[in-house]
Amino acid sequence: MYLISGLGNPGDKYKKTRHNIGFLVIDEITRNLSSSNINNSNFQASVQKHMSDLYVKPQTFMNASGESVISIVDYYDIPNENIIIIHDDLDLPFGTVKFKIGGGHGGHNGLRSIDSHIGKDYIRIRIGIGKPENKADVANYVLSDFSKEEFTELDMIINHVIKSIDALKKSTIEEVKSTFTIKAKN
C-alpha cells in the first residue's frame, strides 16, 4: 500500500494557488480513477482509495499536514518507503520537478510538520514554483494563483508527475530521478 499525499490548503480560496500544487496533482490523479472515499474523521483528510493505494489531501491546513499523515500512516501501518509527498518548492524554478528521500524541509511548513510526525525518510516530489524577488513577499507569493502562462504549462507538469508516481511504485528512486527529473530554466 502506498500513501500518496499532495500538500495544500483546503477551501476554494486556495484552490489554484502555488502552495496547492500537491492538491492539484491528487485531483488530477483521482479524477478518472474508480476510487472510493474513506470517511474517517480522525484522518482530517480527503482520502480516496484505488486498489491498494491511498490518495490524500490533508484538510488541516499546510502547517499541520503531519497530523493528518501520521493518523493515516498509523491506522494502515504504512512504512515510510511507501509514502510519497508531493509539494511546492520555492527554491526551484517554475516547472522543475525533482525527487528525493529525506533532507531538510527548506522552510516549508508542511514538510516541517510531516518530518516532526514521521521522520524524514519518505519520498518527496518537489515541484518548482519559483520565488518572489523580495523574500518578504514569500507568504503572499505561495498563496497567490499561478499566472495564466504558468497555468498553460501546469497540465504537462502534473501529467509528468503522475507518470513519475507510477514509476516510483515499480522502480528505484535513482531510476525515477534519471528518467523524470525536469530542470526548468529561471
Among residues 19, 50, 87, 160, the one annotated as catalytic is 19
Is 19 annotated as catalytic? yes
Closest of 101, 62, 57, 111 to residue 79, by C-alpha: 101
CA–CA dist 156, 82 (Å, integer): 25
| Region of 97 on the Ramachandran plot (φ > 0 left; ψ -120 to 50 alpha; else beta) | beta
Outline where 4-147 has alpha helix (H): 21-31, 65-76, 109-118, 138-142
CA–CA dist 167, 4 (Å, integer): 13
Closest of 118, 99, 86, 119 to residue 5, by C-alpha: 86
Angle in degrees, CA 84, 90, 92, rounded to 5: 80
From the CB of residue 83, how many other CB atoms can be counted at a distance below 10 Å?
23
Angle in degrees, CA 74, 77, 78, rounded to 5: 105
> Which residues are the active-site residues?
19
